[in-house]
Amino acid sequence: MTPAAWTLHPIGAIRSPWKTKEQCPIQGAALQQALGSVELDPALEPGLTDIEGFSHLMLLYRFDRAGAIELVRPTFLDDRPHGIFASRHPCRPNGIGLSIVELVGREGTVLSVRGIDVLDATPLLDIKPYIPRFDLFPQASNGWVEDKGWRDKPVGRE
């Protein structure tokens, strides 16, 4: 049974220093030290048992302030267009974001994380532990990103 459409409800919120899209850094470099937090629904606290043993977490969230979907578009790192499935850009079908962050502490249902590239008050959909056996592929190619130097976000680019 494949659902034609399926409605998800947030289980918490991601808090970060990034209040606007302009402030929010491009994923990856230059944000290693950015501190934020993940505030989970207090009713789900038992689900966080054992989580402190993991140094990194995968956050799935909703790009709730993304603009219109464009299947081929210039990205933050390149003025040439790329297919949306070859990019991590927010304006994508289904609007789900994925960020991997470092877990630095927990108090109840509030997780302190480092390396956050998510807008403040973003709806959280799921937390998964980062498990190198499944998720670590250091030799994977960087595709079109490989020869892109780092740069600031182009002004006005959604």
Partner 1 sequence: MTSHPRRKPEKSYTAAFAGTGELTLTPIGLVESPYRERFGVPRQGTLDGAGRGRIVLNPGANFEQALQGVAGFDMLWVIYGFHLNSGWNPMVTPTRGPKVKRGLFATRAPHRPNPIGLTAVKILGIQGRTIEVEGLDILDGSPVYDLKPYIPYADAFPAARSGWLDELPEGPTGPDRPS
Q: Which is nearer to partner 1, 8 or 154 (CB)?
A: 8
* 121 DSSP 8-state letter: T
What's the closest the beta carbon of residue 3 comes to partner 1, in angstroms? 6
Contacts to partner 1 from residues 107-146, by CB under 8 A: 107-110, 119-123, 125-145
What's the closest the beta carbon of residue 2 comes to partner 1, in angstroms? 5
Q: Which is nearer to partner 1, 34 or 99 (CB)?
A: 99
Residues 81, 82, 83, 89: what is their CA dihedral angle, to the nearest 10 degrees? Answer: -100
Give the type of residue at 57.
L
Site track 36-75 with partner 1 (rule: CB under 8 A), x = hit: ---xxxxxxxxxxxxxxxxxx-x-x-x-xx-----xx---
CB 114 within 8 A of CB 4: no
Q: Which residues contact 30 (CB under 8 A, 6 or more apart)?
A: 150
Distances (CA, A) of 142 to 59, 87, 139, 150: 21, 11, 9, 14
The reply on whether position 9 binds partner 1 by CB under 8 A is yes
Cα separation, 70 vs 67, in Å, equals: 9
What's the closest the beta carbon of residue 114 comes to partner 1, in angstroms? 12
Q: Which is nearer to partner 1, 52 or 152 (CB)?
A: 52
The reply on whether position 33 binds partner 1 by CB under 8 A is no
The reply on whether position 88 binds partner 1 by CB under 8 A is yes
